[in-house]
Structures are given as C-alpha cells and as structure tokens.
Amino acid sequence: MTKPRRQEGTALIPSSLEVAEDCRAVSEVLARVGDKWTVLVVSVLGERPKRFNELRRSLGSISQRMLTLTLRGLERDGLVTRTVFPTIPPRVDYALTELGRSLLEPVSRLGLWTRQNRAAIEAARRRFDAGESGRRD
C-alpha cells in the first residue's frame, strides 16, 4: 500500500485513491454523510433514539418529506434503524446503528472545526469576493 505523503503536517490522500472506482465510492459516501440534514439527524439521534415527530421538532426547519428521505437514505446505508412497535397508533423509533454511532465523532469534530473557523472563512470569502471583480482567468 502506498504511504500517504505529508504536506504541512496534513496527510494527503494516497495516490491509490485516484482510481475512478475509489473516487466514486468516496463520493457516494461523502454525498450521504456530508449532507446538511444527515449531519443534523445523526447528531440528534446521537443523544438517544427518537420518534419521527420528535426528531422533526428537534431539527426545526426540516420538511416532513426531507426528513423521510434522509431517514430512508440513512437506513439504506446501515446508519439508522427503524423500529415499528405494534401499538395503536403505531409507534416508530429511529436510532443510530453501531456504524451510525461511529459517525458521531467525525461529525462532532467537523462541527467544532466549523464553529472555530467560521469567522476566518467568512473573512477569506470577503477578501476573495472583493478581489474577484478585477480577476480575469
């Protein structure tokens, strides 16, 4: 296996990931776990299992359809379980699987990094946008 090269203290992606199939696999997973609602749903379910409406209230502005699609995608990818209880009306709980729980730490770290660096990113965007008007590529 190729050793990752290091640049300014950060490990670079190994050159073996340049293979098209690997790129597709990484892209597919990042599309799921990097989605705005996925990050929020995983974070909220990290507290404890929740019912659909309880989860929806916790997330605030998510639509019923978007929450349904997000939960189905997470269930399909093995990150969330859906348990139906035979009550009237039926009770459905959503919980993180072991795989879903393993996503909590990286999601939490990314959230922390975002909060710590938001001001610097906004400043960089302002500088870039201010210089963009005269830029000709």
pLDDT value of residue 29: 81
Cβ-defined contacts of 82-90 (< 8 Å, 24+): 83/49
CATH of the domain at 126: 1.10.10.10
89, part of any domain: yes
Question: First vs last Cα of the chain: how many Å apart?
Answer: 38
Domain range for 36 is: 12-132
2, part of any domain: no
The C-alpha R_g of the chain, in whole angstroms, comes to 20
| Domain count for the chain | 1
- From first to last of its 137 residues, the chain has per-residue pLDDT tens of 555 554 455 555 555 556 777 788 888 888 887 788 998 999 999 999 999 999 999 998 899 999 999 999 999 999 999 999 999 988 999 999 999 999 999 988 988 998 899 999 999 999 999 987 556 65
64, part of any domain: yes
